[in-house]
Amino acid sequence: MLRKVKDKLVGGAAGLVDRAATLAVEASSRRGRGPRLAISHQSRMAFLERVALEYSSLPVADFFQQPGAIEPSVRRVGPERALSCYDASWPANYTPALESYAERYLATHENQHCAARLFLRRPARPLVVIIHGYMSGSFAIEERMWPLADLDAHGYDVALFVLPFHGVRANRARGLVPEFPSNDPRMNLEGFRQAVGDLRGFVRWARRAGHPAVGVFGMSLGGYAAALTATLEPELAFLVPVVPLASLVDFASEQGSLSPSPHEAARERDVLEALYRPISPFSRPSLVPSERALVIGARADRVTPITHARALATHLGGPARGVAGRSPPTDWAARKLRARICPAGANAIARREIARHRTNARLLQWRRTAEPA
């Protein structure tokens, strides 16, 4: 018997927060913290074509490593309660695909360990793995941004998963701006390759630990990682990308990172599309059944426009239905989530406060219309 879902659904990301992230990326480029790809279109193309040639020996089907079994070190945070908090960490054991880039990629020692914060009851319940967005991943912030109490009340354990080079895995010398993603495509290829391997290993460990089902929610950059992982990991029970990034190439174009010349920009797009194909969620079908997925986009988001959510929803399951409004249409969302997103015997819910842009955020909830067989 499915439990009734009654609380709020995920809201959109705040426009001001998104703008701050964009400005931080721009500031990082001005400070020269990331490697400059080119001083001209010609040199940029030469660099991209060289990187593409280096990665071309790795077929898309064999690009990702098979996840190894992990045994995290788990310690309780705070006093023992009915709902207890634990921090889990385990060695990344990541070997970059491109040998010539390995020394650079592995230079950040903080990224040599994976991390997640768990909120658990006994016995183990279905687990929601939440993946944060760009410049985030701090446990102190994430556990206040997500509706942990609501998820607990509706029968879910929660894990706050940390992406490479974020949160406790970040290079502290760099300040707020993480190394990944980067204007260097090698960092992006290796970063998403590692993120998928880390997440798949964690999902399989959670299943071995007794959680009857494991699904993922991903915000923005985390939405991209979640959707990408869903094309490779058969153990995922449900998938909810929230204001997701869907295309690295589209993002580069939207942020003005390509040449201002249409002809030159088209050439750059072609090379980047081929280069990023192994880590694109569009390169493979999702392994999560269509009736257990929901893509949520926000028109107010300035970093990942609603077009990303639309494209991803179409790829994941075909026709998408939208509901517009100034706040989350909670009644509609609850009805549609009931028995569609979740494994048997459970319901998935999520809530994200609309901060700062509450009056401007017009949300579209995108879901796939394919009915269960």
* Domain extents in the chain: 15-27+72-368
pLDDT at 361: 31
Query: For residue 366, what is the enclosing H or E element?
Result: strand 363-368
List the one residue out of 184, 301, 190 whose CA is nearest residue 252. Answer: 184
Please write the tens of the pLDDT for every residue from 314-326.
998 843 443 343 3
Q: How many residues does the chain have?
A: 373
Distance CA 157, CA 121 (A): 7
Q: Lowest-confidence range among 37-51, 84-98, 242-256, 319-333?
A: 319-333
Start-to-end CA span in the chain (Å): 19
Interhelix angle 185-208/262-275, nearest 10 degrees: 30
Class of domain 15-27+72-368: alpha beta
Please write the tens of the pLDDT for every residue from 219-243.
999 999 999 999 999 999 999 998 8
Look at the pTM and tell me if it is higher than 0.85.
Answer: no
Tokens of 193: 């390759």
Distance CA 117, CA 157 (A): 11
List the one residue out of 133, 131, 143, 163 whose CA is nearest residue 302. Answer: 133
In the predicted structure, residue 35 carries a pLDDT above the cut 60: no
**Residues β-bridged to residue 157:** 127
Alpha helix (H) residue ranges in the chain: 15-31, 41-55, 102-105, 139-145, 148-153, 185-208, 221-230, 248-254, 262-275, 306-317, 330-337
What number is the average pLDDT over the span 332-338?
A: 39
| Of residues 9 and 215, more confidently modeled | 215
